[in-house]
Amino acid sequence: MRADILFVESFYKELEQQNIKYCILRNADEVEQGDAHDIDMTVEDGCLQIVEKILLSVAQKTGWKLHIKTGDAKDKYNIKCYHLFKVVSDAKGADTIQIVHFDIFPTFTWNGYVMIDNAILIHGIDESNIYHRADPAVEAVTKLFIRLLHNGYIKTKYKKYIKETFDNNDEAVRTLLRKFLSVSIAEYVIEAVRKEKWLELEENRSKLVGDLKKHSKKNRIGQKKYLVKRAVSKAGIMVAFEGTDGSGKSTIINELPSVLRNSFPEDMQDYYHWRPGFIKKENRSEDGQAIVVTEPHAKKPYGKVKSLIKFMFFNMDYILGYCCKVRWQIAKGHLVIFDRYYYDYYMDKIRYRLSISDEVLVFFGHLIPKPDVTFLLIGDAHVLYERKKEITVEEIQEQIDKLMSNQTRFNNPKVIDVNLPVDKVVLDVSEEILSSCAKKYCLRNIGGVL
């Protein structure tokens, strides 16, 4: 049995033994059939804290590590999120990373407006097996509104189920909709679904939101407390990649989503080249693409005065860009990636045309926000030269030597051997990112699982 399925089943069996009511929302069929990586569920009111302890206990026993956690077990009105991972070897000895992601909904809300309370979510569940299913009306309504309210569209794969349930459970659906919508809007939604006017519902999202705000319960204070706690927790992670030309920074970065998409989907990954670009964005071509430097040593360095002015400007960009942009992306649980960073100066100041000493770099380096992990991509100079012939073999080797000799000045440096196959390198980088997230969680939470 796959490790993720075994973990999920062990968790649900423990909930059953503890007589805790729970159910899977929206995707019970997929989870039961083995798609166990992304699970939305609810548990009975007042049990969130014990459920969390059970989850972490099962994880510890089965070798899973918690790398992201958001939400507050004492807050009834907001989602709790748990991301866990495990490195698993297949029959041939090849390693892969498995990720399981739980979203636990104490209530079904939108921006602090309560749509379906816990008692209704947990009522009428199907307990015929450990993959407890929600009541059909609850399932259909949550499938209809989850993407529509948050993202402005209705998921195509849900539409058939929504229509069939609305047709076959008329009174239950109507009663449920009237919990958070006016009578007229509830009837409009029912009629639109029956006639499959999906696009019209999407176009009238603002109308639905306005009615929801007027007729649903409000817990705006709880929502604001949740957002503040999430901002303080810094659930995401910031990483930087340092390496010479030809070390494969772009290739590795481009391959990360294939491994990490279950914890950091595309809309939760933020990419920066060298600096945040908050004060002044990097130069781009007419089609909006970043201009790639093909001859980094073609121009002479600036004089000392101009170098210092440029250097201070770049430093302000790092500091302000982090405070105003990057910090909040990390707070949202994002993976923030820097392709090169401040540390690049130690390896190759000429690329940036700077005439400044290493002592100046070290002094101001204390003021620059630190990545959680700094990946140092190290390989054979001749191999790297053949990949990208922009600087000489001798210059590449010199940069590698500088990178290694200065690594104690970098925050949490991790040396990655890029002579290995790309898939192995990407796996090593991905595992380090997830492990670093797990360590961050442990530092924030006494008794956390690692």
Cβ-count burial 99-134 (b if 16+ within 10 Å, e if not): bbbbbbbbbbbbebbbbbbbebbbeebeeeebbbbb
> Same domain for 299 and 426?
yes
Tell me which residue range forms the domain holding 26. 3-228
Could you report the per-residue pLDDT of 25-65, keeping only the tens digit for each?
988 888 888 887 889 999 999 899 899 999 999 999 999 99
> Same domain for 208 and 303?
no
DSSP assigned state of 421 = -
From 135, 102, 140, select the one nearest 120 (Cα to Cα): 135
- Residue 450, in any domain of the structure: no
Q: What is the CA radius of gyration of the chain?
A: 26
End-to-end CA distance of the chain: 23
Domain end residue (candidates: 228, 260, 276): 228
> Same domain for 250 and 223?
no
> Same domain for 218 and 257?
no
Residue 349 to residue 242: CA distance in whole angstroms = 13
> Same domain for 165 and 221?
yes
- Residue 393, in any domain of the structure: yes
User: Is residue 219 within 8 Å of residue 79, measured between CB atoms?
Assistant: no
- Residue 449, in any domain of the structure: no
Domain end residue (candidates: 182, 208, 228): 228
Place of tokens 């507050």: 72
Task: Count the domains in the chain.
Answer: 2
From 97, 96, 3, 98, select the one nearest 58 (Cα to Cα): 3
- Residue 429, in any domain of the structure: yes
Residue 331 tokens read as: 């707070």
The CATH number that applies at residue 427 is 3.40.50.300
> Same domain for 191 and 80?
yes
Instruction: Render 52-74 in DSSP notation, one character per residue.
Output: HHHHHHHHHHHT-EEEEEES-TT
Place of tokens 């649903």: 216
- Residue 144, in any domain of the structure: yes
Residue 5 to residue 36: CA distance in whole angstroms = 6
Work out the angle at residue 410's Cα, subtended by the Cα atoms of residues 405 and 416, and round it to the nearest 5 degrees: 75
From 163, 158, 149, select the one nearest 211 (Cα to Cα): 149
- Residue 11, in any domain of the structure: yes
Instruction: Render 315-380 in DSSP notation, one character per residue.
Output: HHHHHHHIIIIIHHHHHTT-EEEEES-TTHHHH-SGGGT----HHHHHHHHTTSPPPSEEEEEE--
From 24, 1, 107, 18, select the one nearest 54 (Cα to Cα): 18
Residue 315 to residue 354: CA distance in whole angstroms = 13
> Same domain for 133 and 33?
yes
List the pLDDT tens digit at each of the 450 positions of the chain: 689 999 999 999 999 999 999 999 988 888 888 887 889 999 999 899 899 999 999 999 999 999 988 876 565 667 889 999 999 987 777 889 999 999 998 899 888 888 999 999 999 999 999 999 999 999 999 999 999 998 999 999 999 999 999 999 999 999 999 999 999 999 999 999 999 999 999 999 999 999 999 998 776 555 566 555 655 566 799 999 999 989 999 999 999 999 999 899 888 999 999 999 998 776 655 555 555 566 667 788 899 999 999 999 999 999 999 999 999 999 888 999 999 999 999 998 988 999 999 999 999 999 999 999 999 999 999 999 988 888 899 999 999 999 999 999 999 999 999 999 999 999 999 999 999 999 888 776 644 444
